[in-house]
Structure 1
């Protein structure tokens, strides 16, 4: 008899547990499903880390170049070191990352729509603009340093910097003219609409 009562008691407990589970089906799953991590959040986090690394790289390179100048090293010796190259690389990386800094909400909204064909070209053009401007500044700075060192025009012309300055200026002019042409085309596309919307007097 005791064994039968024990079995009945256990059966009753199981029935009660089943009733509770059926009454609250979500109760058993509330703690089992972890919150999914947003892929955009991970991308943004990585971009911020890369930005910090690029800025730190620029500071480090500038600091070492300044130290070399304090030690009395000339421009040729500084250029022969790794720091001017590392500075340029860090500046390029920073420019690229800053051009990619679109808000996550805008990126998510545009993900549903086909990306414009000119988006990549525009991003590349901005990077090229930043590189060209940096090249002009560097060349002008080095030419000024050569003048401060008492070099005459013939010696300055014999160096690489006037050529690099001219190349960077040509590149910048070409990029800016392309930008002007695209703006003119956009205005030309808009002009018929604006004219059609005008009512005759």
Structure 2
């Protein structure tokens, strides 16, 4: 049973998506965004924990390796849709489209690269790690939206999302150039 815990943690991120949406729209109290941000942070914690436990207990699986990035992409896309639907504007919409579009493109690219036996050419880079960190923090702050100790969390989140979108484009170009060399 314990060997399945990392996979169940991954599944929990997918299950959190409807909860995130229901809390974000369903709670008619001022803390709805804060509660949604906490759910998103909890999902981020399960992302770290499932990978850590799978490696530590040596219970990695091909299915888990497939499901983990799918769960990540689904909850990020859902959270971005929530943020943009609640704060319509060109900047946030473009950043969200860039991030979601890149995830779709890179997923397809990784599948194609695996098919031709060159999957190592599209391994995660340090820019991808910085992008992911900025993106996750940005989404958390955008969902939270309420100032904390006078800090404009929404504005900070917005700028972090723009940074994440820029890094998203840079990393996508790197991946595409690496893939183009494999043709």
TM normalised by structure 2 equals 0.40
Larger Rg: 1
Which structure is higher in RCO with an 8 Å CA cutoff and minimum separation 6? 2
TM normalised by structure 1 equals 0.37
